[in-house]
Structure 1
Amino acid sequence: MDKKICVIGGGRWGQNHIKTLFQMGNLAGIVEANQQRLEELLAQYPVHGFTELDAAIEHGFDGYILATPAETHYPVGKKLLAQGLNVLIEKPMTLSSEHSKELVDIAEQTKARLMVGHLLLFHPAIIKIKEVIDSGKIGQLYYVYSTRLNLGTVRTEENVFWSFAPHDISILDYFIGSSAIKIEAKGSKFLQNSVYDVTMAQLAYPGNVHAHIFVSWLHPFKEQRLVVVGSQGMISFDDSSEKNILYYNKRIDWVDGKPIKVEQPDEIISYEKSMPLAEELKYFIKHLDKTIEIANGKSGYEVVKVLETVQALISKGE
């Protein structure tokens, strides 16, 4: 892959992109407004450096990674896409569904490739679980839930759902194959008067599939757990601990009108380990001349719509 990529933003997550792209041989440019930080990065990664976006655009690259603060995603993304430039925008795509939809429309008009950094869609365990669901091993999909819990990092400018849940929303849509058609949500504020620390969202999908997302940054231990329940079996995966995909060969059968619990030995489903960020970037680069299907602009827009809906529901519930 000889495509040349420019990373916009040299902060913590931008540096992860920079490091990974450099290791892949695809890093060609860095945009960072802080001159000192830019010089430090260029000393470590000898590529083209810019303090101004316009200079990077004029130089010309095959694709751009937008890893700046979320409030800049819309104006910077719009500027790039309007010129037909390929962009991977970190999550959340924008801070409003209206702006996200506009970026999708611009990309369609200019034929630019637009992708959103829903990193966990490239996690090998998530991909494997999707394969197991689609294979029919767990039977009819009933219910999925996701917990993303930790002590911190507490944000002052966004609530815990906007901070933690974009990953979970994208995973649910990926597993189920559609977006939620009904949402209910509640939240609680403890540390700050205007920022929610704990939220619970209930989501309903077509085909009587249901899900919930529980997120909190006020929790005694770290947990990033997914549970998938089907008619013939169940799956759990905790990305914060052993990282095993566990298949529970358990179900409820009906015998003479009575529910009977059926349990057989559980198993560990193996999967090939790899780094999600490297897989995400490989996918973006590979699809610079193709249609982006995973984590595309439309899916990013759907995630922002859910974020907005939950925000409105928990605010209404005050």
Structure 2
Amino acid sequence: MDRLRLGLVGYGYWGPNLARNFHQLPEAWLVACADADNARLAEAARLYALQQTANDARALIENPTLDALVIATPARSHFELVSQALNAGKHVLVEKPLALTSADARALTDLAQKNKRVLMVGHTFEYNPAVWKIQELLDAGALGELYYIYANRVNLGRVQTDINALWSIAPHDVSIMLALLKQMPLSVSAHGATYLHQGIEDVVFALLNFPNNIVGHIHASWLDPSKTRQMTFVGSEKMIVYDDVDPEAKLKIYDKGVYKRGDAFGEFQLRVRSGDLYIPKIDLTEPLKYECAHFLECIRDNKTPRTDGENGLRVVRVLEAAQESLKQNGTPIQLNSMDADKRG
């Protein structure tokens, strides 16, 4: 079977990772790349023997020999580039977030359905074996009743000037929470602070209130002394710490909890229980490789991607609500019942 011919738009920060992974997949043939920087284009052409390079994405969009486009450009350009690519009959993999408004995300999703093209969003952590293991544990009820989740995704850099830390960093943790809980939050609130560039929050704290009294908290910042990529899941029976930067123990499962103990007088006391620590073996295959292979599979087999346009839209809905809360100094923003039930 012929390989799928791909074009990559954007060879800056994330584009090289996408190019490397698609180049390693036998089902794909990376033949074209567009970027505004000629030096970056020259590097891509040297590494992958490209048939076409261009400074303007339209050259790839209008190339009839390309089956799909992979878009790794700044978020502000996503709506225009994705819509043009879909209208040109291309399948599209676009980096997160899908768009900067839910209206644009909805329009792109509808356009992909109308044109019968695969639209997939690069929520890479939904292709992470560690996240799959957490899903397995939650589905099996291993944690008991899930109480809350909190995420720390901080680093010194990469500072941006067109979108804040919420839109740049938090999409990862939002997508993980929505995927694992299989539902939308009922409300979202957020606080943030600006230090480096007027009007662009460098640090954001977002609170997602889910059904069944489950709380999700996200700390996102590019102004922090250490690189942390950690999520903690607290349940009534067990707790999980997911540390994405730990090369040997990405998941730690703690047999810990608090339970009620009755006495002779019918009263209850709260007791702390501390058991074993378990570190499961996790597949260390690069999640981006799984993501890229899934995109090709969906094109070949006419499948709906795990992170399709609807998935991307849900993440944008949460980010949009958090952004509105930032504007309102932390006022909780309610997501209507129809949105909350989409994954229920």
Name the TM tier (shorter chain): over 0.9
SS of 1:307's equivalent in the other structure is helix
Pairing 1:70–2:75 present: yes
1: CA distance between counterparts of 2:65 and 2:210? Answer: 42
Pairing 1:297–2:309 present: yes
Q: Which residue of 2 aligns with 1:174?
A: 179
1: CA distance between counterparts of 2:130 and 2:120? Answer: 21
Q: Which residue of 1 aligns with 2:326?
A: 314
- Could you report, residue by residue, the CA deviation over 1:41-60 in whole angstroms, capped at 9, with x for unpaired residues? 22221132142544434332
Pairing 1:287–2:290 present: no
1: CA distance between counterparts of 2:225 and 2:59? Answer: 47
Question: Which residue of the other structure, out of 39, 42, 57, is the alignment partner of 1:39?
Answer: 42
Matches within 5 A, 1:1-318: 2-25=3-26, 26-34=28-36, 35-51=38-54, 52-56=56-60, 57-242=62-247, 243-256=249-262, 257-288=268-299, 289-317=301-329
SS of 1:147's equivalent in the other structure is strand
2: CA distance between counterparts of 1:179 and 1:216? Answer: 23
| Aligned-residue offset at 1:244 | 2.5
Question: TM-score under structure 2 normalisation?
Answer: 0.87
* 2:166 and 2:319 in contact (8 A); partners too: yes
Q: Measured at CA, do residues 270 and 33 of structure 1 come closer, stay the same or move farther in structure 2, by a change above 3 Å?
A: closer
* Structure 1, 76-85 or 140-149: larger mean CA deviation: 76-85
SS of 2:242's equivalent in the other structure is strand
2: CA distance between counterparts of 1:229 and 1:36? Answer: 48
Gaps of 5+ in 1: none
* Structure 1, 238-247 or 29-38: larger mean CA deviation: 29-38
* 1:38 and 1:49 in contact (8 A); partners too: no
1: CA distance between counterparts of 2:194 and 2:44? Answer: 39
Amino acid at match of 1:296: D
Q: Measured at CA, do residues 43 and 297 of structure 1 come closer, stay the same or move farther in structure 2, by a change above 3 Å?
A: same
- Equivalences, count: 318
| Aligned-residue offset at 1:277 | 1.0
* 1:89 and 1:115 in contact (8 A); partners too: yes
2: CA distance between counterparts of 1:74 and 1:204? Answer: 29
Amino acid at match of 2:312: G
Amino acid at match of 1:311: Q
Question: TM-score under structure 1 normalisation?
Answer: 0.94
* 1:10 and 1:30 in contact (8 A); partners too: no
* Structure 1, 289-298 or 261-270: larger mean CA deviation: 289-298
| Aligned-residue offset at 1:36 | 4.8
| Aligned-residue offset at 1:6 | 1.9
| Aligned-residue offset at 1:75 | 0.8
| Aligned-residue offset at 1:87 | 0.6
SS of 1:30's equivalent in the other structure is strand
- Could you report, residue by residue, the CA deviation over 1:135-163 in whole angstroms, capped at 9, with x for unpaired residues? 21112222111111112222122111111
* 2:5 and 2:65 in contact (8 A); partners too: no
Gaps of 5+ in 2: 263-267, 331-344
* Structure 1, 187-196 or 168-177: larger mean CA deviation: 187-196
* Structure 1, 271-280 or 184-193: larger mean CA deviation: 184-193
* 1:83 and 1:110 in contact (8 A); partners too: no
| Aligned-residue offset at 1:104 | 0.4
2: CA distance between counterparts of 1:156 and 1:125? Answer: 32
1: CA distance between counterparts of 2:103 and 2:223? Answer: 31
Q: Measured at CA, do residues 199 and 279 of structure 1 come closer, stay the same or move farther in structure 2, by a change above 3 Å?
A: same
Q: Measured at CA, do residues 260 and 317 of structure 1 come closer, stay the same or move farther in structure 2, by a change above 3 Å?
A: same
1: CA distance between counterparts of 2:50 and 2:319? Answer: 37
* RMSD after superposition: 1.8
Q: Measured at CA, do residues 33 and 148 of structure 1 come closer, stay the same or move farther in structure 2, by a change above 3 Å?
A: closer
1: CA distance between counterparts of 2:238 and 2:30? Answer: 47
SS of 2:14's equivalent in the other structure is helix
2: CA distance between counterparts of 1:237 and 1:139? Answer: 18
SS of 1:259's equivalent in the other structure is strand
* Structure 1, 230-239 or 2-11: larger mean CA deviation: 2-11
